Amino acid sequence: MKRSKKVYYQFNGGLMDVKTIFNTQKKRRGRSRYLLSVLVEAVDGETSVPVKLVYIRNRNKRNDYLVLATTDTRLSEDEVIQLYGKRWSIEVYFKMCKQYLRLAKYQGLSYDGIFAHTALVAIGYSILAVQHREQVDDRTLGELFYLMVDELTDITFAEAIQQLIDLFKEAFKDEYILCEEVLNTIIEQFLKKLPVSYQKHLIKAA
């Protein structure tokens, strides 16, 4: 959103523009994805709407910042940034439709004609996008990609410990020197020596 001095928000008992809010608040240090996040109210007459303002670094200008705004205050700062990032693909879509598929070249005044033209442009873009993906983009491997993702899914700590215990049992199952009772005793002693927090995780998993 523009850092206009003509647009004010209700913040800390007064009316401030986004630049004043930024200058009066403490910024986040380090390599955080955002510099500042505040809740304000957009006032229009007698009505007010809660708004979350998220200030992020401008990649093109090191000492500059951008201001993102959302009326869905339940969104986290990272979600707001991710949603804003998707705007670029939308901009590319409309540029391609206007420049190559003549989206804005229709001269008719009929609503049905405008609707049909827009729908045909969208269908044409979808067909070209699918064709391009099948020829160039490795994401056409679809099913294989999702299977690989499932294989690489992180396991919980409790699951990791349980797998170690199962491997331990598997390694000594053919050892006749150790009976099952002795093996269980060894495992119990091993679990008791784990930190208390780890033992709690194992109890919950069980």
pLDDT in tens, 98-122: 888 888 888 888 888 899 999 999 9
pLDDT digits (tens, 9 = 90+) for 31-52: 778 889 999 999 887 788 999 9
Q: Within this chain, do residues 163 and 116 fall inside the same structural domain, yes or no? A: no
Structural domain includes residue 148: no
Q: Within this chain, do residues 75 and 101 fall inside the same structural domain, yes or no? A: no
Say what the pLDDT of residue 145 is: 56
Give the full edge-to-edge strand order of the sheet including 14-16: 14-16, 9-11, 36-44, 47-57, 65-70
CA atoms within 13 A on the CB side of 164: 11
pTM: 0.50
Q: Select from 59, 51, 53 the least CA-distant residue to 20.
A: 53
Tell me which residue range forms the domain holding 28. 8-82
Q: Within this chain, do residues 30 and 73 fall inside the same structural domain, yes or no? A: yes
Number of domains in the chain: 3
Say what the pLDDT of residue 181 is: 75
